[in-house]
Structure 1
Amino acid sequence: MERFSQYRIMWVLVFFDLPTETKQERKISADFRKKLQDDGFTRFQFSIYLRHCPSQENADVHILRVKKLLPKKGSVGILCITDKQFGRIELFHGKKEETVATPYQQLELF
């Protein structure tokens, strides 16, 4: 068996929705993000962070660390998937909507 196979390597995703109404809530949210980054997580989207782990055992260590960081308010989800599953992700990046110039002149009939 290959030691680092696509089925052994894991990705840990942490996605969250934390309150940011007050200055204190914004600080708690910012601290949570910083602590995730300090533990090796990378921002995937605004409230989604991910971390590559060489094994399930290593992923379990980082999942436990995230659980210890959980804020009292808000929602946090943790998802652990294999590298093979992560490799099937489909990403779409939209373009900024632009107004299209009309190439013709509108005629009015009376």
Structure 2
Amino acid sequence: MRLVLFFDLPVGTAKQRKDYRLFRKFIVKEGFLPLQESVYAKLVVNDAAASSALARVRKHRPPAGLVQILKVTESQFATMEYITGKRPDFEEVDTMEELLVL
């Protein structure tokens, strides 16, 4: 499943710009990859991982603005159509394989 994160944060003051930078840095560190300027997506293996990621985003939410997360299945995400533009050029991990360390 994918978590699609949308955010619209104010950047009118120096404090708001700092909050924006810290939040963006946090979500990138958490594994969210950009789809658009304020739209990011993350691949999660199950509902428990999705709930955990959602809780971490709630904990690090900025004090102002709008942050939304939409859970979609991998099949739904795969049906996304590009009307204009093209798919981003970054290498994306799109496998559900997990690493087992013994």
TM-score w.r.t. length of structure 1: 0.73
Q: Secondary structure at the match of 2:12?
A: coil
Alignment of 1:27-42 (within 5 A): 27-42=18-33
SS of residue in 2 equivalent to 1:20:
coil
Identity %: 36
The aligned counterpart of 1:91 is: 82
User: Where does structure 1 lack aligned partners over 5 or more consecutive residues?
Assistant: 1-9, 95-110
Match for residue 20 of structure 1? 11
The count of residues paired between Structure 1 and Structure 2 equals: 85
Give 1:72's aligned residue: 63
Q: Which has the larger radius of gyration?
A: 1
For normalisation by structure 2, the TM-score amounts to 0.79
Q: CA deviation at 1:92?
A: 2.3
Superposed displacement of residue 69, structure 1:
1.1
Q: Which residue pairs with 1:51 in the alignment?
A: 42
* Counterpart residue number, 2:95: none
Deviation per residue, 1:3-49 (Å, 9 max, x gap)? xxxxxxx1001101000011111110011000001111111110111
**Distance (Å, rounded) in 2 between the aligned partners of 1:54 and 1:93:** 30
User: What residue ranges of structure 2 are gaps of 5+ in the alignment?
Assistant: 86-102
The alignment's C-alpha RMSD in Å is: 1.0
